[in-house]
Structure formats: C-alpha cells, structure tokens
Structure 1
Amino acid sequence: MGKTNTEHKRIKIDIKLYGIGVPLQFLYDHWFTSQIVFFIFSCFCYQWGWTFPLFLFVIIEGIMIWFQHKAPRIDAERRKAFNAWINDSIVQSGGESCNFVNSLLDMCFEKMLPDTFSNILCPIASRVFQQTVPFFINYLQFTAFSFGYTPPKILQVVSDQTQASKTPANSISLNGSFLFANEIRFACNFKILRLIPCTLVVKDIVLYAPVQLIIESPEENKFLNTSIITAIAFTATQPLVLLHANIYFNGFCVSKIPLANHLISLFVEHQANLLVSKGECVVWDWITNTFSFRHLSRSCTKVSQELFQDIATKDNRFDAHTRFSLSNDTIQRYDETRKMYWERTNKAKLAPNEKLIQMAPPAGAETEPVFFYREEKKECVNISIQTQNNV
C-alpha cells in the first residue's frame, strides 16, 4: 500500500532508553537474578548487624507478590465492566445513526484533526496540566500530540429531545457511546523534584465513555464567507475510562509491570477527567481554529475558578454564558475581512507568469494570507557566441 499524501506530516515520536529507564530495564530483564543477589547481600548485612537491607527485601517481595495477585483480578473486573458497557450501548435506541456518523468520520477524521494541531495543543496542554500535576513534578512540557489516523467508533447516538429547551439557539446536542482505540499518542518532558529529567510517552490508547457533542452555528445565519459551523464542544457525561495504554518512562515500558499500568492509568484518567467530565468540556472554535477549555454553563474551567476565587472579583454577567461560539459582531468582522480579501484576490489582473498563492490561516487569524508570486525567465545566453567574442 502506497504512502498517503499526509504521511510526511505525521508526527514521529522516538522512544530512547536513558536515565532512570536504563536501570529499570536492566532490573526487568534480570529480575530473578537481581532478587537472588539482593537476598544474598541482605543475609550478609544481617550477619554484620545491618537489618535494614533484609527488611527492604521483604517489603519489596511482599509488594511484588501482591501486585501479581491483584493485577489479574483488576484486569478481569475492568474487562467485565467494559463488556457490560459495550452490550448496554449496543442495545440502546439510536444505534441506527451510528453507521452514518462512523462513515463520516472515516472520510474526514485525519483531515479534521491533523498532526499539525500538535503545535497548538502542546502549549495549551502544558499550561493546563502544570496547575494540576502533583508538587514533585516540575517543568512539565508537552512536546508532541497526535489524535491518530483512524477515527473513534461510535456505538450508539441518541438525541435527547427532552433537553431541547435547554439547548442554545442554532445548536445541536448529541449523546453517544464513544470508543477510542487507535494510534492516539502524546509525549511530554518533566523533572522530578526539579532534579531528575524524565520523558513520558503514552501510545496505543484505548478509552471509552458516554459523551455529549454540541455543534453550534451562528446566532443569525447571514454570513457567506465563514463556516456554517462556528464551534464544537466535547464533554463526557460520565468519567472517561482508560482501558489500555503503552506507557514508556524514559524509554522503559512501564506497562510490562503487573498493576503498574493500572496505577498510572488511574492518574491519567484523573487528569483527563478534570478537563472533560462533570460539565468541563473542550471547545474547538472553527472561526479562529483554536482550542479552549471551559464549563458548560460558565466561561471558565473549575480549576480557573478555584485559582482566582480569592484574588479576583466574579463577574455575574457570565453566569449564564451557555454558547461556545463567538458573538455575532465578531463573526461579522471575520466575514467582512475575508470577503474583502476574496474580492481583492478575485479582481486581481495577473500576467501568464504571475499567480496568487493562498495559504491556510494561522491560529486566531481573521483571514488567509495571500502571497504574490511572479515567475521570471532569464534571457537565454548563447555560450558559443559568447566564447567567440571573448576570444
């Protein structure tokens, strides 16, 4: 199968073994040998009157035995809960809409969410998660993010008509069962206790949750030069569940250790649910092509509200701020600006060797930049005549 046209733009994350990952990989490869050596060393220390190494050996062995006993039971419980959720989602009404939604996602998923969004999402994620990570994690910096290249699977779609009166004007709200199992991955760098450099790479993520998708159009449908969709908001009606992920810590695959994958998954779930559950949502503004985080009923997130509650005065004008889109006046300014540039481009008189190149708009820009390009041909030089004249 040949390469796609967008393959050269895809993000490639290199996983390198370094730092703490090197001794972790060594211990994993030679675990039984390390246990024997550590036990013999602890016995010698006990003979010399040092009891702490033997005590540490017993603690480590006890933890590992408990991990090996608990991990299969937890995996079985999570698998049982996942199967029950799948069966419940399939038998619910509204499943007939899934074929259309899944076919639509198959055609436009990679074009809608290309890897070029990584340059926009990484700075936002770095700022957001720096406020929520534990105190011993410092200098968090996301370096790569990709939604993957195969779309999520929608198991059922339900349009709740009983909530139609609460939905803002010119917007559609859909609830559905969402299963994400593709090449979604991200990478970040940070330091532990401001000293130990670490790299975390998470890939092959499988997660699921009931979600709510809100699609908005302008308050007045009178704009011809902007998108008919102005904003898309995504939120989880129940907490996200991370079923599986390959997690690499400094190049070492932590998922190989029993129960370690589950414990790290709980931490990742907690951080993700802070952003997309309990009314918190991710908003994709189609006019400015930007992402933001906010609550369904207010213009900020819960984290922001808690951060500024003692140092800023609350503005009651935004208590009922239910729409995610820009105001009509702002959209009109974007529409007029794009119309002006389109007319200027359309009326331009160009020679056969001239053309205008229209680029994709940067994040937050009102219009696409247009560049003038002229192809100039140099006069041909007859080398033989020039050589005779020089002679």
Structure 2
Amino acid sequence: MADGTSRPEKPDWALSGRERADQARAARGLKPRRRRWPWVVLGLVVLGGGALWLRQDRTPAPGAATGTDSPQITLQMLPSELAKVQPAELRDTVKVTGSLAPETQAHLSAEVSGRLASVAVRAGDRVQAGQLLAQIDTETLENTLDQQRANAEATRAQLRLAQTQLERTRSMVKRGVVATSELDSDQASVDQLAASLKALEAQVESAEESIAKARIAAPFSGMISERDVDPGAYVATGTELFSIVDLTRMEFEADVPVRYAPGIHAGQRVELTVEGLGDAAFTGVVDRVNPVAASGTRMLPVYVGLDNPDTQLRGGMFASGLLVMETKADALGVPSEAIRQDPEGTYVLKVVDGVATRQAVQTARTWEGGRVTEVSSGLAAGDIIVAQPLEGLRAGAAIHVIAEPQTE
C-alpha cells in the first residue's frame, strides 16, 4: 500500500472462488483476470440509448399526420347491402289476401216445365249474349197457345155482336121504342164480354211468353261454368240448368284487419300477385267496403275490382298483395335498418370514395309498415348508403363491393 501498511490476508476459508483463482494465477506468475461487469453495464447503457434515439426519431412532429383518420379495416360488402338514394313514391300499405271471383255471373234456371229438346253447350264453352244454350220442347205450350187464341177470337166476335146490339138498342131508346132497361142489359153484356176478352188476351200473351221462355239463351257474353242437365231430361220450373260467368271483369274479396277500417275507402289502389301466375302483377281498385267484420273474425271484407281482358284470371284463384292506403310522391326514403343512433343524434353511413362516413340526417316518418323511413334532410339523390345494420361496421371503415354469390 502507499502508506507502507499491508492489508491482512484472508484465511483460505474466507476466500471467494474468484479470489482463489487469482491466487493460483499469481503463484504461476500470471496477472489476475480483469472484471467484465463494467463492460456489460456499459454495453447495456449504449443499447438503451440507441433504442431511445430510434423511438424519438419515429415520433411525429407536432401537427404532422398520424394516419388515425385513414381506414383501420376493409369490409367486403354485397351490392344488396348498399342502397342508392333516389326520389320515389313512398307508400303506406296493408297486406291483403283473398280469392277471386267473376264480377258478373248468373245461374240460369228453367222458367217453364217440359222436356229438354236440346242442350247446345258444355262447361267451358264461350258464348255470346243471346246465344241459344238449350231448348225445352214447346209442343204442349203451342197447343195451349192455339187454344187460348181460339177462345180469345170467339170472345172477340161475341163482343162485336154485343156492341152492335148495344148501338141498336141505344137508337131505339132515343126513339122511345124500347125501355131504358134494355139498354142497361145490353151495356152489361158488352162490358162482360170485354172483360172476358181482356183475360183471354192475357192468357194468349202468357202462352206466348212461355214459348219464348222455353228457349234458354245467354244473358251476356261469357263462359259456361256449369251445366246441370242433359238433353231429354224433364225439367220443372226452377230447375237449375247452367251457370255463366263473365271473366273480363273480376272481383277480389280481400280480408283486411278491422283496425285499418278508418283508412280504407273506395278508389284506393290494390297491387296483387296470384297463386299459379308467378310474378305477374295485377292492379285493382277498391269498389266498396263491408261495414261489418266477418262473423267470428277481426277481418273486414273489402271488394276490389280489376280488369281481366285476356281472361288470364279465373274464379277461385288465391291472391295476395298490398292495399295502398296513402302515398307521397318524389320523396327520399331509405331502409329503416339503415338509420342509426348515437349520442350525437340520428345518422346513416354514407359511402364516400369507398369509405363509410357518418352522415347526420333528419327523418320525417316511416312508410311501408315501418320498413322505409323518409329522410327530410341530410341526403341527396344519388347518395350511396349502407342499407343494413352490419355489426361492427363503423365510420372510417373502407368498403370493397364484391359480386353477389351465384345461386344454382
């Protein structure tokens, strides 16, 4: 030591492993090993400083773009999940179901009794107004007519004689040749014969009408829907013979929940599809509304007329559709599922340059039973919006539109 003093040596049992190794090296004339931990510490300090410098070098300067406004995710969407905003007619509608029937139909029955001499048509035949459908044998009716005509003619002759006698008696009374009572008697005879002739002429007319009624003709143009008799059959008065329908004008009897009754009136439009006719659309107009709900139900019968010029519609077909109760033209409507809410208010996600953007909107009311919401401000015609409440989609997400999947 510098002060001439020496540190007492440690006993062997107190030496560390490193100190024993140094003594062994000294005994062999070698220098003790230098300690390496200061260099390790120095290396760690250098590495830490370099990492800190790199972190500071990558930190953006104040005001520099951070990239937080750029889309964080890209979402693939189908065209059906988007909607283009366009002015359109918004409607309030009610679903209706029911069946079709010809608006004009008739059941023809025999008006006279007799044997059917001929039947000219079958079910499914088209007929014109006045066309012969069946003929009842008129032999008995014609015999009756001949007898009635003969009786009437005989009475007519008797009346002429009685009138001649009355005029003669009246002349004689004026000359005082006969009593006034003779004139009264002749006048009574004339009156009686005139009454008899009138009755007989009525019988003749009735017999002629019976013969005319033996000819069963179509009351209007249409189709025979039922034929209940065959040639040679005897029919009594009132026997049903045919049913005829006019298919050019149909009636749809719709069943509507009675709660909608206050808003239903004649003239409202009804749009229908018919079972068995695919996507073909038919339009009718409410003709009348039953004032009483059907017994045992809460459904109100509503009668809708619709033209059927090509007779494509047939009686008994089942139809369903929409009764248009109220409309608004040239309004902007979006699917109600597209409307979103957050603490800032009502909004939709509008697609701008492929990015979902929050667009605040004001809504007016809902249409189509709540499926469509009218937007009064915030959107313009041509805007593209997200039409469905896709879970996880937020403003700022990039949107990539892909093709609809092909269906086999």
Question: For this structure pair, what is the TM-score category when the shorter chain's length is used for normalisation?
Answer: under 0.3
Please give the TM-score of this superposition, normalised by the length of structure 1. 0.17
Please give the TM-score of this superposition, normalised by the length of structure 2. 0.17
Higher strand proportion: 2
Higher helix proportion: 1
Structure of greater relative contact order (alpha carbons < 8 Å, 6+ residues apart)? 2
Bigger Rg over Cα: 2
